[in-house]
Structure 1
Amino acid sequence: MNVEEAERYRRELHVHCYRMLGSYSEAEDAVQETMVRAWRKADTYEGRSTYRAWLYKIATNVCLDLIAGRKEVVLSEAPLSDVPWLEPYPDDQLPEELAVARETIELAFLAVIQHLPPRQRAVLVMRDVLGWPATEVAEALEMSVPSVKSALQRGRATLRANLPERRSEWAKATEPSAEEREVLKRFVDASMRADMATLAKLLREDAMQCMPPTHDFYIGRAAILDMWRPVLEGQQAWGEWRTLATSANRQPAVANYVRKPGEDHFSAVNLDVLRIEDGRIAEITTFPPERIPSFGLPEKIFD
C-alpha cells in the first residue's frame, strides 16, 4: 500500500478523529500523524483486515495518545460548557461518500462522549458509530472482548443519562430540516433588528447557551435574553449587525459580524450553532470567531 491509497481515506479519518477528540483542528493533526505512522509501518500491514480498518486502528490509537495529555473533565448540567477544546465541524466538509447521520456528529453527542474515559469512548465510537464487531475492537485496542462489551454498556448508559430526551427522533437526519432553516432565518432577522420580543418567542423556556472554550453558560430564556440585551440594544449596543447562515454538525448555524461606529467593515464576532426542537431553539453553542474561516466564510465583510 502507498501514500495515495491512504489519502483516499483522509476525509473519513478526519471525521473519526473529530468524534474522538471533539476538536476540528486537533483532528487535522491526528490525521496527519496517522498518515505518517501508516507510512512508517507499511511493512507491518499483513492483510488480516482491510487496509481501511488498519488505518482506523492507527488513527484511534493516535487519538488515544493525544487524549492522554489532556486534563480530565467532569460532567455537569451543561456538558458543552465543560469541554474547552470543542469545535464545530463544517457540514460541507463531511465526506459525501459517507451518510453521516446527525446523531453521530452533533455537538450534544460529541460533548458527552468527551467525558467518557478514553478507551470507553473509543469502544463506543468503534462499535456504535463504525459498526465494528466486538472482536475487531478488542484487537484494535488490545482489550478482551468482555472488557469491550462492558465498556460499551457503560458508555451507552452515560449517553442515555445525558443526551437530550428526544434525540432519537432526529437520528437519521443528515442536514438541517426545512423547519430548522426557517427558525434560523427568523433568528437571524430578529438578531439583526435587535427584536428582543421575537427572539424571546424563538427560545424555549428552558433553552441553554454555552460558549466553548470558556466555561460560561446560561440556562433559561430569561438568562439568555438578559445576556443579549445590552449587546443588541440601548447605549451599550455593539453596533450594526450582519449575519451569514451556514450549517455545522448537521445543525443550522450562523456566523455573526458587527460594524462598530466609525468602521468601514463588519468584523467576525462568533459562530452560533443551534439545536431546535418543535420550532424553537433549545440550545445555542457559541464559538469564537477563529472558527469562522474553516467554514469558508470571511473574517471581515466590506460594504
Structure 2
Amino acid sequence: MQLRVALNIPFKDIESDDVESSEIPTLIRFFNEGNRSEICQPNAFVYSSGAFLTTSSEDDDFHIILHAHNLDRHPGNQEDPDSYFMHCPGAAQPIVTFLGIVLERRGQLNDGQNLLHYRLQTTVYNPSTRTPHTFPITAFFKNGQRWANFPPLNLDTHVFLTGRIFGLTKEDRQLAVVTDDIHFLPTSTSSLPPTPSSTIGKRKRVDRWSQRAGPTTPSKSTSQFYDPQLAENVRATSTADEDEDEESTQVTWADNLDGTESARQTSTPTPERRSQRPRKTSYTDILALSK
C-alpha cells in the first residue's frame, strides 16, 4: 500500500539563504499486514522508518519515497483535530544516513549567508522497480568551531554521512541535510591474496605417516639378552663374596700383574654387578697387615 503524507520540517536555528524550509511531499510504501485502515484515515499522525530515495522531474514535483520498515499511528480520536494534535509529539527533523560521492563544493564556513555545502551523489536500490536509483543530496556544514579544522573534501571523495533534513535547496530542488557526522571511505580496493580454496592446481598432500615415531622411542632402552645360567652364576658368586666379607677381610695381591692386565685387555668386558667389585682396602686393614 501507499500513503501520501506531508513531511513537516521545523525551524531549528539552522538557515541558509539557498535553502527553504517547507512541507516536503512524501510517499510511504509499506506491506499491509491485516486490516490497517486506521492508518489511512485523514489527519493521522504516523511514525515510520525505512529506506528512502528522492525523485523530481519537469512533470512531477519533488517528493520523497520511503519504503517503510515499520509504520505506526499515534493513538487518539482524529474526529477532534485540535485535541488530537495537542497530544501528538512535536515535529522533529528526520535523520538520514547514506553513502555519497562528492560532486561539487559551494559556500564558505563561518563566512557569508550561505553555509559551506557539498553536492553529493548517492545510489540506492529501488524495490518498486528492482533497479538501482541515483539521486543528489546537498550536505551542509553548520557554522561554528566544530568544522573549523575539518579538511576540505576533494571531488570524487567517498563519504559516509549522517545528518538531519532541514529543507530543500532553492536552485536545484535537492534534499538539504545538515551534517552531524561524516566518515571517509577508501576509493580503491587492493587485490587480495588468493585463498587456499581458490588457488589454481592441486595442493601437495602431506605424508603424515612418514613422520610417525618408530617402534622404539628415546624414552625406552633396548632390553639386554637374558641368560639363565649366567644369572645363576652371578647370584652364586655374589652370595659367596658376601659370606667371605662377613667372616674376615683379607687383602691379596696378584702374583702376575702383567698377565692379569693383558688378560683384561684381551678379554671382552662384561657388565659387573656392584657385589662383584673388589672391596676397597681400608686404612685399618693396612695397619693390621703391616704388623
TM-score, structure 2 as length reference? 0.25
TM-score, structure 1 as length reference? 0.25
Structure label with greater radius of gyration: 2
Higher helix share: 1
Larger RCO (CA within 8 A; separation ≥ 6): 1
Higher strand share: 2
